[in-house]
Amino acid sequence: MLEIINDYWLFFLIGQYPHGPLGGLAGTLLLATICLILALPCSILIAIGRTGKNRFWRGVTFVIVYVMRGTPFLMIIFWAHFLGPIIFGTSIGAFWVMVIALVLYESAYLAEVIRAGIESLPYGQTEAAKAMGFSRTKTMILIVLPQVMYNSFPALLSQFVSIIKETSLGFVIGVHEFTFAASQVNSILLVKPVEIYLILGLTFFIVCFTFTSAARWLERRIGKSQGVLPA
Amino acid sequence: MITVENVNKSFGKLRALQDISGNFPKGTVTVVCGPSGSGKSTLIRTLNRLEEIDSGRITIDGRDIYEPNINLDQFRMSLGFVFQQFNLFPHLSVLDNITLAPRRLKGIARDEAEQMASDLLRRVKLSGKEHEYPESLSGGQAQRVAIVRCLAMQPKIMLFDEPTSALDPEMISEVLDVMGDLASEGMTMVCVTHEMGFARSVANSIWFLEDGQKHGEFPVDDFFQGTTDPRISLFLSHLNRE
């Protein structure tokens, strides 16, 4: 196993780069990060719609969340893969297809995290803002969202771990990421699948465990600071 | 300054306010008291439309605050509202809690707003707390910051909804002192409170509410000495027993 790592560590880490697209573990983290950055604003909008007063937007966002959460992620990847070229008129490449699929899917989950954050904020916060003359939009931007994002940060980090794991499904449409790199090494060596996929699994575990531990640590810290907040 | 005419408000079957009428004159302090569930908090919350009335009329400086084309946010900027639970913004420092509204709603420059905030904090004996966060303040300090946060908007009227009910006894007086100072400066104030000592020394008149009805409006001295109304005597005797 050490021999495989010794020979192929760079390939595991960055894929074919610079002779091809960035892949391997770097590709996975890049994909996950881009997805999180794009999904976050979408999820905030969905969460605002879900908790807002407007019945139309409440309905629309409800449907988005429940369709996305009620569909296997693989199905969404296939939709994006086959529907994407029809909508855009041209192939946008496996990487961006995967980004679209992940953003669609994860926006729904992140939106629920943020919605919970909005709903758990004491009502006195929005009421105080209202009494001072802040509009609903200003209240959301200046008072609600900063607190929600801070309080939800551990949960968002946990969701980032899910995203990292989900990137491995990009393998089925040929996205250059970590699992794809491992399978390429496997097709070169042919006889060492157990070792190769053990390396893949262990690396995923180490990366994800690091983030989950960080999330847990942050959760304790934030929880502690909230314990003494006035209601 | 504030006129309330035949105001009614129900929550489902509960008639929280029944036909309430009266005036809160400019430059005076009115204490609204009564047993729990009497509708006093509901009444004060209708004055800045945190609670909507079902019927009746409320005017402030002659303007009907329920007229359809009123700019509600603009209107609320001219009233300060102090909550029982302070409702400071925990993610902002004391200074930012106070300057947020002047800066974002009135467009006052940061320097100017911060100077004003520091001056106000000095007045309520909280100099040096500018950069602390609400979580590190005691209840009495938090409530004084909440009052300053309202004052920073230079309101015409201050509304207090049980401002000392969530405080430990030793902190009540520091908040009442600030309110007393404010009253002596001529601020128009409506206070829902059980603090009868405060009412006796600061208020001009007292409204007594029970079961959503107004059982009269009394000059302070009459309320504490001369009333023959058995409900008020009972209410006062309950308070004295506490």
pLDDT at residue B226, as a whole number: 62
Interface of A with B in 8-67 (CB under 8 A): none
Q: Does A125 touch chain B (CB under 8 A)?
A: yes
Segment holding B2, helix H or strand E: strand B2-11
Evaluate if residue B39 carries a pLDDT over 90.
Answer: yes
Of B73, B83, B88, the CB nearest to A133: B73
CA nearest to B140 within chain A:
A230
Report in angstroms the alpha-carbon separations of B147 from A138, B47, B115, B219.
21, 17, 17, 26
Query: What mean pLDDT comes out for the span B47-76?
Result: 94
pLDDT at residue B242, as a whole number: 59
The answer to whether B153 contacts A132, with C-beta atoms less than 8 Å apart, is: yes
Query: What mean pLDDT comes out for the span B128-133?
Result: 95
Distance between CA A167 and CA A34 in Å, rounded? 11
Domain that holds residue B37: 2-241
CATH code, B214 = 3.40.50.300
B104: pLDDT confidence band, cut at 50, 70 and 90?
very high
The answer to whether B50 contacts A127, with C-beta atoms less than 8 Å apart, is: yes
Query: Bridge-partner residues for B60, per DSSP?
Result: B2, B63
For chain A, domains (ranges, CATH) are 2-227 (1.10.3720.10)
Distance between CA A11 and CA A205 in Å, rounded? 19
Q: Which of B111, B130, B131, B135 is nearest to B120 (CA)?
A: B130
* Cα angle, residue B208 at apex, residues B206 and B210 outer, rounded to 5°: 165
| Chain B interface test: which of A120, A132, A143, A228 (most B C-beta within 10 Å) | A132
Low-confidence ranges of chain A (pLDDT < 70): 224-231
Query: What mean pLDDT comes out for the span B119-147?
Result: 95
Backbone φ and ψ for B37, nearest 5 degrees, come out as 80, 15
Distance between CA B183 and CA A221 in Å, rounded? 42
Per the structure, how many domains does chain B have? 1
